[in-house]
C-alpha cells in the first residue's frame, strides 16, 4: 500500500504537556502498526493511507496520543470517517526541529502593577510544611477499558452541537462583555461580579483549549496574561470564588498548554490570595479585604461556610507543585488539619456542619448537608488524595469517614410510581433538644455527589461507593426528565421510602403531601429556577467515563437539548425562572460556569476518552483539569 507523500511544514501544539511545538517535513509513513527505519521529521498535519485504504489524517482535531522515547515515536490518531477506528504509527530515528512560526503563538507575560509578594505579613507562619515526598502510589484505573468506548457519527454530531453552543455564547461575551466578569445574555452587556478580572474569560480558557479552539485560546490567553491584579475595582474579593475560577482556571490552562506566561500570572494571583491567610491563626476569612490586609486587621470568620476555606486546597496545592514553593500548600494544609481535628467532634460525628467558627477553631452550627455552603469541601477529599498521589493519608481518611456517615444518614430513595432505583441527598438539622430532623430536600448543587462517590470508589477500589454514585447520578438524570422543561430545579423536595430499597407508591400520601402539578413523588419545587448549573452533567460524565455505557451519553443529550431549548436568547443562554413551566421567563444572567463547567462536561461526554482522561487529570470544583502525578 503506498504511503502518502507530503513535504509541507506544519505546526503542533500536542505533546505530553500539550506544549511541545515543532515543525516537520516527512516523506513517508508506514502502515498502521508497522515500523520503519526511514529518518522522519514528524509534525502536523499527517496524512497516510492505512487500514484497508482509509485516509488517515492526524491533526489537532483527531489526535489521540503520542509516546516518545530515545529510539522511537508512536503516534495514535483516529482514522476514517466519523472517527470509528484508531491507528498507531511507530516511527524510528525521528528528528524534531524548531517551528519558525511558533513565536507568533507564544503568550507574553505582562506583570501586574503591584507585586503582592512584597508586603511583609503581620502574622508570618513559624514554619512551612513541605509537600509530601515520594513516588506517587499506583491507583486503580478510574476509566473503563478503551474497548468499551464507541465513537459514532451520532456522537460526533452531538459533540459538534455542544461546541457550536459554546462558541455562540463565547463570541457574544467577546462582542458585548469582553474583559468583564459576566455577559448579561438578554441586555447584551457586561457586568462585574467577581472583582472585575474577567471571570468568564479566565474560567473558559481551558475549555477553549479542550475544544480545539487554539486561535481563540491564544488570543484569550494573551488577555489573561495581561490581567493586572493590582487594578482593584472593589474593596474586597471573595476568596473562594477567586480561587476556584481565576487561580484554578489559569493553572489548568497552563497544565494543558504549557504557556509559561500563564504560570507567571497564576503565581502573581497566588501571592495576592495568600495574603488572606495573614490572620492570627493563619486561617483565612471569607473575604480578602485589601484595606484590612494592608493594616494587619484580617481575621478568620466565626460563622463562615465550611466549603469556603475548605475548598482552596486543590488550587493552592497545584500551585506549589508547579512552582516548588511549598508556602501555598502549607497555607491550605492548616485548614485541612483543623478540619481533620474536629471531624469526629461535631453534632454528627464524621461530617462538618455547613458553617464553622474558623477564628476560634470551634464547631457552632447544627445543619449538615452536601449542598450549598458545604458541597466542595467533601468533593475535594478524594480529588486531593489523587492530586497528592496518595502520599498523604489524611484525605483518604477524611473521605472514608465522612462518606460512611453520609451513606447511613443523608441518602434517601424517593417513593416513585415507577419504583426507579435512584437516590438523592437530604439535609440533617439538630434542634434545640438535639433531636435529629432529616429533611428530604435536595439541590441541583448536590448532584455532584454521584460523581464524587463514583470517583472516590474507583480511586479507593470500593465498588459500593461506585454503586451509590451510579444511583445518585441516575437520580439527577431522572429529575431532569421529571419536569415539563426536561430540566431539574434548583431546590426540590421528594417523599422518601423508609429505606434505600424499593417501596410501594402511596397514592393517597402523595395527594396529601405533594404538589399535584408535579410528577408523582414530588412534594414541591421550593426554588424552581435553573441557573445553567453543571452538577448533574458532571456526575453523568464521570459515570460514562467509568463505565463506557452509552446510556449515559443518551441521558446527557436529552438534558443538553432541553437546556438549549429553554435557555437560548438572541445572543447566548440565560438562567430561567421556573422549570415547571414551558417557555419560562428568563433571568438576565449567564454565570461563568456555563462555559467553564456545564458545556465542558457536555463536550467531554461526547469526546474520546483520552481527552482529559480521569486517569491523568483531576478536575477542581469549577471543572478545571489539573494533571495528576505519575506513579
Catalytic residues: 241, 375, 490, 535
The three three-digit cell numbers of residue 313, written as one number? 486546597
Is the CB of residue 256 less than 8 Å from the CB of residue 625?
yes
Helices (H), 258-392: 260-274, 290-295, 307-310, 313-323, 327-342, 375-387
Helix (H) or strand (E) holding 412, with range, is strand 411-412
SS3 87: strand
- Considering only CA atoms, which of 564, 615, 545 is closest in space to residue 163? 564
Answer whether 148's CB lies under 8 Å from 547's CB.
yes
The alpha-carbon radius of gyration of the chain (Å, integer) is: 25
Q: What are phi and psi of 24, to 5 degrees?
A: -150, 150
Dist. CA 449–CA 536, nearest whole Å = 9
- Angle of helix 393-409 relative to helix 375-387, nearest 10 degrees, comes to 140
* 45 cis-preceded (ω within 30 degrees of 0): yes
CB–CB of 546/538 below 8 Å?
no
Residue 82: which of 5, 7, 152, 160 has the closest Cα?
152
Candidates 244, 242, 525, 546; CA nearest to 375 is: 244
567 annotated as a binding-site residue: no
Strand partners, 208: none
User: For residue 82, how many other CB atoms are within 10 A of its CB?
Assistant: 13
CA atoms of 606 and 600, how far apart (whole Å): 10
How many Å apart are CA 369 and CA 374, to the nearest integer?
Answer: 7
User: 587: closest CA among 527, 538, 537, 506?
Assistant: 527
Dihedrals phi, psi of 106, to nearest 5 degrees? -65, 130
Q: What is the DSSP string of 534-599?
A: -HHHHHHHHHHHHH--THHHHHHHHHHHHHHHHHB-SSSB-EES-TTSTTPPEES-B-THIIIIIH
User: Where does residue 52 rank: exposed (0-12), middle (13-18), buried (19+ CB within 10 A)?
Assistant: exposed
C-alpha cell at 415: 417513593
The Cα 578–Cα 531 span in angstroms is 10
Q: Which of 580, 564, 583 lies closest to 572 in space, CA to CA?
A: 564
Among 296, 203, 277, 199, which Cα is nearest to 239's?
A: 277
Beta strands 586-587; 575-576: pairing state: antiparallel
Tell me the C-alpha to C-alpha distance, in Å, between residue 169 and each of 177, 183, 202, 224: 11, 9, 15, 19
Residue tagged 472593589 (cell numbers)? 234
CA distances, 85 to each of 56, 141, 235 (Å): 10, 23, 55
Helix ranges (H only) for 177-281 are: 199-203, 205-210, 214-225, 239-241, 248-257, 260-274
Cell readout for 118 is 512584597
Burial (CB count <10 Å: 0-12, 13-18, 19+), residue 84: middle
Is residue 355 classed as helix, strand or coil in its secondary structure?
A: strand
- Residues placed in the known binding site: 621
- Residues placed in the known binding site for Ca(2+): 621
Amino acid at each position: 500500500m503506498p504511503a502518502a507523500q507530503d513535504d509541507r511544514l506544519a505546526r503542533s501544539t500536542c505533546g505530553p504537556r500539550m506544549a511541545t511545538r515543532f515543525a516537520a517535513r516527512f516523506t513517508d509513513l508506514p502502515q498502521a502498526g508497522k515500523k520503519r527505519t526511514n529518518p522522519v521529521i514528524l509534525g502536523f498535519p499527517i496524512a497516510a493511507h492505512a487500514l484497508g485504504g482509509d485516509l488517515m489524517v492526524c491533526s489537532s482535531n483527531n489526535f489521540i496520543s503520542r509516546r516518545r522515547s530515545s529510539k522511537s515515536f508512536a503516534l495514535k490518531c483516529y482514522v476514517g470517517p466519523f472517527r470509528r477506528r484508531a491507528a498507531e504509527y511507530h516511527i524510528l530515528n525521528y528528528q524534531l526541529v524548531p517551528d519558525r512560526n511558533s513565536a507568533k503563538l507564544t503568550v507574553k507575560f505582562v506583570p501586574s502593577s503591584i507585586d503582592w509578594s512584597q508586603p511583609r505579613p503581620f502574622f508570618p507562619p513559624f514554619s512551612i510544611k513541605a509537600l509530601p515526598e515520594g513516588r506517587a502510589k499506583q491507583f486503580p484505573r478510574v476509566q473503563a477499558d478503551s474497548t468499551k468506548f464507541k465513537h459514532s457519527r451520532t456522537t460526533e454530531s452531538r459533540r459538534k452541537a455542544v461546541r457550536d453552543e459554546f462558541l455562540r455564547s463565547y463570541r457574544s461575551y467577546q462582542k458585548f462583555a469582553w474583559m468583564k466578569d459576566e455577559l448579561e445574555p438578554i441586555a447584551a452587556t457586561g457586568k462585574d461580579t467577581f472583582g472585575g478580572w474577567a471571570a468568564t474569560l479566565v474560567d473558559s480558557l481551558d475549555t477553549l483549549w479542550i475544544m480545539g479552539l487554539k486561535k481563540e485560546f491564544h488570543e484569550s490567553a494573551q488577555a489573561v496574561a495581561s490581567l493586572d491584579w493590582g487594578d482593584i475595582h472593589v474593596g474586597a474579593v471573595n476568596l473562594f470564588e477567586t480561587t476556584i475560577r481565576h487561580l484554578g482556571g489559569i493553572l489548568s490552562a497552563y497544565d494543558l498548554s504549557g504557556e509559561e506566561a500563564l504560570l507567571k500570572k497564576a503565581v502573581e494571583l497566588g501571592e495576592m490570595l495568600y495574603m488572606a491567610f495573614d490572620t492570627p491563626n493563619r486561617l483565612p476569612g471569607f473575604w480578602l479585604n485589601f484595606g484590612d490586609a494592608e493594616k494587619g486587621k484580617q481575621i478568620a470568620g466565626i460563622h463562615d461556610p465550611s466549603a469556603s476555606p475548605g475548598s482552596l486546597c486543590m488550587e493552592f496545592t497545584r500551585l506549589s507543585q508547579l512552582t516548588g514553593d511549598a508556602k501555598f500548600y502549607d497555607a491550605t494544609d492548616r485548614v485541612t488539619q483543623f478540619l481533620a481535628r474536629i471531624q469526629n467532634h461535631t453534632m454528627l460525628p464524621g461530617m462538618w456542619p455547613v458553617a464553622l467558627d474558623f477564628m476560634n477553631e470551634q464547631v457552632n452550627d447544627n445543619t449538615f448537608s452536601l449542598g450549598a455552603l458545604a458541597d466542595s469541601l467533601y468533593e475535594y477529599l478524594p480529588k486531593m488524595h489523587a492530586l497528592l498521589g496518595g502520599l498523604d493519608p489524611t484525605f483518604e481518611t477524611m473521605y472514608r469517614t465522612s462518606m460512611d456517615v453520609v451513606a447511613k444518614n443523608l441518602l434517601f430513595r424517593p417513593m416513585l410510581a415507577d419504583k426507579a432505583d435512584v437516590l438523592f441527598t437530604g439535609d440533617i438539622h439538630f434542634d434545640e433538644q438535639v433531636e435529629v430532623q432529616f429533611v428530604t430536600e435536595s439541590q441541583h448543587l448536590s448532584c455532584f455527589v454521584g460523581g464524587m462517590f463514583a470517583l472516590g470508589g474507583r480511586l479507593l477500589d470500593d465498588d459500593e461507593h461506585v454503586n451509590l454514585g451510579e444511583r445518585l447520578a441516575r437520580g439527577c438524570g431522572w429529575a431532569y426528565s421529571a419536569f415539563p422543561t426536561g430540566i431539574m430545579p434548583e431546590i426540590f423536595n421528594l417523599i422518601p421510602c423508609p429505606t434505600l430499597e424499593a417501596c410501594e407508591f402511596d397514592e393517597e400520601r402523595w395527594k396529601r403531601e405533594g404538589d399535584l402539578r408535579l410528577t408523582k413523588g414530588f412534594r414541591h419545587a421550593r426554588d424552581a429556577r435553573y441557573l445553567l448549573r453543571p452538577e448533574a452533567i458532571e456526575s453523568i460524565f464521570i459515570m460514562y467515563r467509568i463505565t463506557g455505557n452509552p446510556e449515559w451519553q443518551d441521558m446527557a443529550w436529552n438534558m443538553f437539548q432541553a437546556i438549549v431549548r429553554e435557555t437560548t436568547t438572541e445572543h447566548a443562554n440565560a438562567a430561567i425562572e421556573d422549570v415547571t413551566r414551558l417557555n419560562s421567563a428568563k433571568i438576565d444572567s449567564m454565570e461563568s460556569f456555563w462555559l467553564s463547567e456545564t458545556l465542558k462536561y457536555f463536550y467531554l461526554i461526547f469526546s474520546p476518552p483520552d481527552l482529559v482522561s480521569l486517569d491523568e487529570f483531576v478536575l477542581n470544583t469549577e471543572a478545571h483539569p489539573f494533571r495528576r502525578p505519575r506513579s
